[in-house]
Homo-oligomer: A and B are copies of this chain.
Amino acid sequence: MKQDKAISSAVIRRLPKYYRYLGMIQDRGIVRISSQNLSEITGFTASQIRQDLNHFGGFGQQGYGYNVTKLREQLGKIIGLDQEHTMVIVGTGHMGQAICKYRGFRDSGFRITALFDRDPSKIGTRIDDIEVLDVEGLGEYIERNHTDIVAITTPKAAAQSIADVAAEHGIKGIWNFAPVDLRLPEGVVLENVHLDESLHALIYYIRNIKDYVGV
């Protein structure tokens, strides 16, 4: 299943969608599914689905289709959901708390190990039984405790310096919610959730429905 050619981000962005849809299909008690039916449910074409899955080795059986549970498991493995991942959240405002308390993440193997803030009134408190630590100690924490991801939910002015500290101390992934474009050294993966951009796109499409092609 290993391959050397880089896989396009369009394909990779569809994997979590397939994964979610398969969970939904599984919940309905469906055991196997053809790429045709999967196409009807997901809205992607059957040939698109087959092509996407072929990047990872292909999982269907001619004339049988896909085993729903097995395919979902394999997609989970490809994404990396079969392993636990640790995350710390910097910034304990509403967005930080929303992420901290969101059950969905835990169910898919994410563990939030610490929260960080710079507000003295928050440091030392607990949110969902996770301690809020002083952001000054972020670098040391990352070095001493295995941490896969730093989620940044601070105001934008603080985001770059937090990303710098995290990168210097060997973090591999930054999940950024601050409305700013971070600069990171090579080898550090940046994933942005830019709510402004999302809302702006929505506004544009409302006013220019002709350009809207669905999601």
Contacts and interface: CB of A to CB of B under 8 A. Distances in A.
Interface of A: 4, 6-7, 9, 12-13, 15-17, 19-21, 78-81, 85, 93-95, 97-99, 101-102, 104-105, 108, 110, 148-149, 172-173, 175, 179, 181, 187, 189-215
Contacts of A215: 181, 190-192
A20 B197 contact: yes
A208 to B, nearest CB: 8
Given A173-B203, A175-B202, A203-B80, A197 B94 contact: no
Contacts of A209: 187, 189
21 contacts: A4-B210, A7-B211, A9-B213, A12-B201, A13-B201, A15-B201, A17-B197, A20-B196, A79-B203, A79-B204, A81-B200, A93-B98, A98-B98, A104-B179, A149-B206, A172-B206, A173-B203, A173-B206, A187-B209, A189-B205, A189-B206
A139 B58 CA distance: 45
Contacts of A148: 203, 206
B19 A200 contact: yes
A208 B191 CA distance: 14
Contacts of A214: 190
B98 A197 contact: no
Contacts of A175: 198-199, 202
A205 B212 CA distance: 29
Closest 4 CB pairs of A and B: A94-B98, A16-B200, A191-B202, A16-B197
